Amino acid sequence: MNRTSEKIDVGIVGCGYWGPNLIRNFLSHKGFGQVIGCDLDQSKLERIQQRYASVKVTSDYEDLLGSNKVGAVAIATPVKAHYQLARDALQAGKHVFVEKPFTSSSAEALQLIKLADEKNLTLMVGHTFEYSPPVVKIGELISGGTLGEIYFISSSRVNLGLHRKDVSVIWDLASHDFSIIFSWLKTSPLRITALGKDYVQRGIPDVAFINMEFPSGCVAHVEVSWLAPSKLRRTAVIGSEKMLVYDDTEVMEKVKIYDKGVDYKDPDSFGEFQLSYRAGDIISPQLENYEPLSLEVAHFFECICNGKRPKTDGFSGLRVVQALEAAQSSLENNGHPEVIR
């Protein structure tokens, strides 16, 4: 597939829970042409056609890959199938978009990165939150130095949610926090510890408390659970200059910036050191209003056309998978700290 400005036909593989959202967004982007839904389950394909009359469907992945007109594939299947589907697509010369978490293992992730590189194809991971208005805004505040040095981040993502049967709550929910936090800090953690438990389904942890340390000295805590009485989507970012809270359950004030902090003054001559506490206005910035997935799809198109590296490229997907592996390993090892290589 050449990088062209023609319309690109795109296949969406996996038409269950999330796939239809991809289909809807690919349909409404002018750069993409025919949208094709692909799933082994006929009933899902039928539902797609009822809702989106212009979408074609197929249960034959090879057929999809065999079509010259299809320039890109988006994969929204269970995680364990990501690697093979993405590999086949890359080998068939398609640009590939993979839903998060990228792959089941970092080894798989590395192979896909290498393959896309060899083939000079766009490989993008669907870390949707990184395209959402509050996460983008906070990223700008951090990069721009508004918060000062980032001391620590504490995040809770819990509610009585659907228990997944294929992956733990870490792979399901913490993958969001990992991609968000790593993008803000522009780095991976050095060390991870995790404590978790499998209360409802044996072998599949449904609650986890994860601690991470970053090279800068920043630490982060992530709590995820499918067992909680009320929904929390709350992330506090504590900086030396300002602090903020990002609450994704809020409708109007998702981000609040607090002009608060502690100033440390070295002792004069003999005296004790002094701490002074600052408190100022609280500001909830106006955020742009768009669906993150539409921005994500537009970014995928742009990267395909001009060959630039996606914001959420394979390495972005890889570092999240590495952290998920480390967290899982610590969890299975009684909370022993795992060092990320």
The three-state secondary structure class of 114 is helix
Picking from 149, 197, 233, 155, the residue whose alpha carbon sits closest to that of residue 331 is 197
Least distance from C-beta 3 to a second copy, angstroms? 32
Question: 10 Å Cβ neighbour count for 252?
Answer: 7
Burial 275-290 (b: 16+ CB within 10 A, else e): eeeeeeeeeebeeeee
Q: Shortest approach of a second copy to residue 74 CB, angstroms?
A: 23
Q: How does DSSP classify residue 40? A: S
* Edge-to-edge order in the sheet of strand 207-213: 255-265, 243-247, 232-239, 150-158, 219-225, 207-213, 191-197, 338-339
Question: Smallest gap, in angstroms, from Cβ of residue 261 to a second copy?
Answer: 8
For residue 195, the minimal CB distance to a second copy (Å) is 4
Instruction: Output the 3-class SS for 65-105.
Output: HHCCCEEEEEECCCHHHHHHHHHHHHHCCCEEEEECCCCCC
Q: How far is the CB of 192 from a second copy (least distance, A)?
A: 9
Which one, 110 or 340, has the nearer CB to a second copy? 340
What number of other Cβ atoms are within 10 A of residue 42's Cβ? 10
Using CA atoms of 228, 230, 236, 242 in order, give the dihedral in degrees to the nearest 10.
Answer: -160
Q: How far is the CB of 113 from a second copy (least distance, A)?
A: 30
Torsion angle of C-alpha atoms 308, 311, 313, 318, degrees rounded to 10 = 150
Q: Nearer Cβ to a second copy, position 93 or 335?
A: 335
Select 194 or 321, whichever has its Cβ closest to a second copy: 194
Tell me the two tokens of residue 200: 């409802």
End-to-end CA gap in the chain: 35
The answer to whether the Cα torsion of 20, 22, 23, 24 is positive or negative is: positive
> By C-beta, is 126 or 205 nearer to a second copy?
205
Tokens of 341: 């290589």
Query: Shortest distance, CB of residue 213 to a second copy, whole angstroms?
Result: 7
CA 155 to chain CA centroid, nearest Å: 14
**Shortest Å distance, C-beta 124 to a second copy:** 30
Q: Which is nearer to a second copy, 75 or 147 (CB)?
A: 147
C-beta of 51 vs 308, nearer to a second copy: 51
* Min separation Cβ 149 and a second copy, Å: 9
Of the pair 68, 144, the CB lying nearest a second copy is at 144
- Given a contact cutoff of 8 angstroms between Cβ atoms, the answer to whether 96 and 76 are in contact is no
**CB-wise, 42 or 286, nearer to a second copy?**
286
Nearer to a second copy by Cβ, of 69 and 265: the residue is 265
Q: Which residues bind a second copy (CB under 8 A)?
A: 53, 151-152, 154, 156, 160, 163, 165, 191, 193, 195-197, 199-201, 207, 209, 211, 213, 217, 219, 221, 223, 225-231, 236, 238, 240, 243-245, 251-253, 256, 258-262, 264, 272-273, 275, 277, 279-286, 334-337
